Amino acid sequence: MNGTPKENDTQQGRAGVPLVLTRVPLDADWLALMAPCYQVMPWAQADAAARDRARAVVTNGSTGLSADEFATLPALELVASFGAGFEKIDLRVAQARQVRVCHAPDANGQVVADHALTLMLALARGIPELDRGVKAGGWEALRAARPGLRGKTLGIVGLGNIGHRLAKLGAAVGMQVAYLQHEGTQGGEYAPYGDAVSLAAASDVLALTCPGGPQTHHLVNARVLQALGPAGFLVNVSRGTVVDTGALIEALTHGVIAGAALDVLETEPLVPDALRTMDQVILTPHLAGRSPETRIAQHEALAHNLNGWFAQGAPAHPVRLPA
* CATH number of the domain enclosing 27: 3.40.50.720
Domain that holds residue 227: 109-283
Q: Decide if 85 contacts 65 (C-beta within 8 A).
A: no
Same domain, 100 and 164: no
How much is the mean pLDDT over the chain?
93
CA 108, chain centre distance (Å) = 9
Beta-strand runs (E) in 46-175: 54-59, 78-81, 100-102, 153-157
279 and 136 within one domain: yes
Residue 317 domain-assigned (yes or no): no
Residues 40 and 137 in one domain: no
- Average pLDDT (280-299) is 96
Q: Give the percent of the chain with pLDDT over 90.
A: 91
Average pLDDT rounded to a whole number, residues 7-27: 71
Task: Tally Cβ neighbours within 10 Å of residue 44.
Answer: 8
pLDDT(8) > 60: no
Alpha carbons 266 and 306: distance in angstroms, whole number: 31
| pLDDT tens digits along 217-227 | 999 999 999 99
Does 323 fall in a domain?
no
Both 299 and 245 in one domain: the answer is no
Q: What is the pLDDT of residue 15?
A: 55
Q: How far apart are CA 205 and CA 164, in angstroms?
A: 15
* Residues with catalytic roles: 239, 268, 286
The pLDDT of 298-305, averaged and rounded, is 98
Instruction: State the pLDDT at residue 282.
Output: 98
Same domain, 88 and 115: no
Higher pLDDT, 317 or 321: 317
Is residue 74 scored above 80 in pLDDT? yes
Question: Within this chain, do residues 69 and 212 fall inside the same structural domain, yes or no?
Answer: no
**Number of structural domains in the chain:** 2
